[in-house]
């Protein structure tokens, strides 16, 4: 049967609006604009005052947010604690700089109210400085350069006058918030400077410039002033009160408002020609009544069309949703909806309803239970042979050597035990933390094998923050050592990493043979449908790793093991990166 051709609902509504609503509405607006009454001036100004108070309130809240962000650096004490360690010689200058850089990036590089952040130590501030910028708000290296070339010296001089208060500094349209970082004796040890994103913080006030000349002062310092000089000549004396006010002076209308906060004072003045704001409107009521009478038939027609093409299809879908809510899974909508969009929605609804019934009957509960069980079982796996070997080594080292080496081995073992127990319940950790567990394992294993084991690491710094599953590398490295290096008597294990597009690849390359039997065993262990419950514990490591990656990410991730050259084997972990 040939399908009935349907017109898009969008075009139906557009054509209806053009024919029956837009043209009459334009006539009404044009008539009102031509015949505005002078008596409407006060009511329009009152509406403007309400809008001024609302927009000013939003602006004040954003400035308060800037102040709160500046103060947070003191409240956190992260920078101060690191600075005290630096002054006591516990950490070096590079560690202090890295801590400050990390803090600036985490606190300010994503804030809409901030474009650049600069932190300077009170000792030689122009030399001991750390910077950060927010690219999304226009922050750039050029802004940082401008600050140090044009503004830094005056900002530092201004900071000396602030004591513990925050202050605002403006120069050539650049607005900064300045705060001294004080120690417990109220002696400044650093200066935090943020360049304020004026377009965001004063966004609600800048909107007025479409219809008015706008002047904004912050602590009596001009921040924004639009319009030419003639617009601000002969401005009358304005008496600012708690509420916004307005006044007419000569041929101009003025609206003004001031807000006082404990940290700042914000004032706003709008002005425009009265002739631009008001146009007398005569016969307004009669025109509106006439237009309403003309529009009533159009309204009834529009309601009828809306009922046919909107209300009825929506009612059908709501009835279907109630059926499913009542437990009637698989319920199907019938009938012609009359439009292309609702027909698509009806077919999609029927398909999803049928799919939902199938999932509840066959898949859903079983799959969730299986996934939870697999993840819990896989994450709790610890190789008992490795633990026995470790305890044996600690026992012999306690007898034959001094306490220092034993202490190191116990510390490494403790690190691995903490990682396995996962007290913080964090299934994924940065690669840098994962390497702590790897290094603990390698230290213990190196003590067991001595010079027979050589470890090489080639991990770029830019991938160390990428999140990976906890304890995902140790089983692979253990497999490489126990099945590759140990049978040969000695050998090398290389750990490499790289990021390509949305994936992180971690390679473990070891010396050793990879026989045909090994290849078949690996293929069986890494098969998607492999059941680890039927395998002895000695063979579960690589299978568990492969299944964890496939469960936590998708089928494009996992573990692969293959021969590399005559006497080398490469194991590759593929992990999906979530930025």
**pTM of structure:** 0.45
Q: State the average pLDDT over residues 139-159.
A: 93
Phi-psi region of 52 (alpha: psi -120 to 50; beta: other; left: phi over 0): alpha
Q: From CA 231, how far away is CA 428, in angstroms rounded? A: 61
Q: From CA 159, how far away is CA 222, in angstroms rounded? A: 20
Distances (CA, A) of 534 to 353, 525, 537, 539, 573: 38, 11, 9, 10, 24
- Report pLDDT digits (tens) over 14-50: 566 666 665 666 666 556 555 555 556 677 888 888 9
Residue 104 has pLDDT above 70, yes or no: yes
By the 10 Å C-beta count (0-12 exposed, 13-18 middle, 19+ buried), 124 is classed as exposed
- Report pLDDT digits (tens) over 217-265: 998 888 998 888 888 888 888 888 778 888 888 888 888 899 998 889 9
Q: From CA 225, how far away is CA 268, in angstroms rounded? A: 10
Closest alpha carbon to 382 in 424, 410, 413: 413
Q: In this structure, how many other beta carbons lie within 10 angstroms of the beta carbon of residue 355?
A: 12
Handedness of CA 227, 229, 234, 238 (dihedral sign): positive
Model confidence band, residue 369 (pLDDT cutoffs 50, 70, 90): very low
Tokens of 427: 């299934």
443, containing H or E segment: helix 431-449
Residue 194 has pLDDT above 90, yes or no: yes
Q: From CA 175, how far away is CA 70, in angstroms rounded? A: 14
Distances (CA, A) of 1 to 87, 213, 509: 86, 66, 64
Q: From CA 165, how far away is CA 182, in angstroms rounded? A: 11
Helix axes 40-76, 93-108, angle to 10 degrees: 150
Q: From CA 486, how far away is CA 71, in angstroms rounded? A: 57
pLDDT at 246: 85
């Amino acid at each position: 049967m040939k399908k009935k051709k349907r017109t898009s609902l969008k075009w139906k509504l557009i054509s209806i609006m053009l024919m029956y609503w837009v043209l009459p509405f334009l006539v009404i607006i044009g008539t009102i604009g031509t015949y505005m009454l002078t008596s409407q001036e006060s009511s329009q100004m009152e509406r403007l005052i309400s809008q001024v108070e609302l927009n000013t309130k939003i602006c004040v809240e954003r400035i308060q947010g800037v102040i709160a962000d500046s103060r947070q650096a003191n409240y956190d004490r992260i920078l101060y604690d690191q600075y005290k360690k630096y002054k006591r010689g516990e950490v070096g200058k590079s560690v202090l700089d890295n801590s400050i850089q990390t803090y600036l990036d985490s606190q300010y590089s994503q804030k809409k109210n901030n474009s650049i952040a600069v932190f300077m130590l009170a000792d030689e501030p122009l030399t001991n400085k750390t910077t950060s910028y927010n690219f999304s708000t226009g922050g750039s290296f050029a802004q940082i350069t401008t600050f140090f070339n044009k503004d830094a010296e005056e900002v530092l001089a201004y900071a000396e006058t602030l004591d513990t208060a925050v202050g605002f500094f403006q120069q050539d349209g650049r607005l900064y918030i300045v705060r001294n970082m004080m120690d417990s004796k109220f002696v400044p040890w650093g200066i935090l400077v943020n360049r304020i994103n004026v377009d965001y913080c004063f966004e609600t006030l800048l909107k007025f410039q479409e219809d008015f000349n706008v002047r904004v002062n912050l602590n009596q310092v001009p921040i924004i002033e639009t319009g030419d000089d003639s617009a601000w000549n002969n401005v009358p004396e304005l008496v600012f009160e708690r509420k916004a006010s307005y006044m007419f002076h000569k041929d101009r209308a003025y609206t003004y408002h001031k807000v006082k906060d404990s940290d700042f004072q914000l004032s706003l003045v709008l002005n425009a020609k009265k002739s631009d704001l008001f146009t007398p409107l005569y016969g307004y009521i009669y025109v509106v009544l006439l237009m309403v009478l003309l529009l009533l038939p159009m309204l009834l027609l529009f309601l009828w069309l809306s009922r046919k093409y909107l209300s009825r299809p929506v009612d059908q879908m709501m009835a279907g949703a109630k059926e499913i809510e009542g437990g009637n899974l698989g319920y199907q909508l019938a009938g012609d909806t009359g439009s292309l969009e609702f027909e698509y929605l009806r077919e999609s609804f029927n398909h999803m309803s049928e799919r939902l019934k199938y999932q509840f009957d066959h898949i859903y509960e079983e799959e969730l239970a299986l996934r939870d069980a697999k993840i819990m079982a896989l994450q709790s796996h610890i190789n008992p042979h490795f633990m026995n070997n470790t305890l044996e080594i600690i026992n012999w080292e306690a007898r034959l050597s001094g306490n220092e080496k034993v202490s190191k081995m116990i510390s490494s073992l403790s690190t691995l035990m903490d990682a396995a127990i996962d007290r913080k319940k964090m299934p994924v950790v940065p690669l840098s933390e994962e390497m702590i567990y790897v290094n603990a394992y390698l230290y213990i294993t190196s003590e067991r094998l001595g010079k027979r084991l050589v470890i090489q690491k080639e991990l770029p710094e830019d991938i160390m923050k990428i999140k990976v599953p906890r304890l995902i590398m140790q089983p692979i490295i253990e497999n490489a050592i126990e099945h590759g290096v140990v049978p040969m008597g000695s050998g090398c294990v290389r750990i490499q990493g790289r990021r390509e597009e949305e994936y992180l690849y971690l390679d473990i390359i070891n010396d050793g043979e990879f026989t045909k039997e090994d290849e078949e065993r690996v293929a069986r262990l890494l098969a998607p449908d492999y059941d680890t419950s039927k395998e002895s514990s000695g063979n579960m490591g690589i299978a568990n790793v492969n299944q964890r990656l496939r469960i936590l990410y998708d089928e494009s991730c996992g573990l692969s093991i293959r021969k590399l050259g005559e006497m080398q084997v490469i194991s590759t972990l593929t992990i999906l990166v979530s930025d």
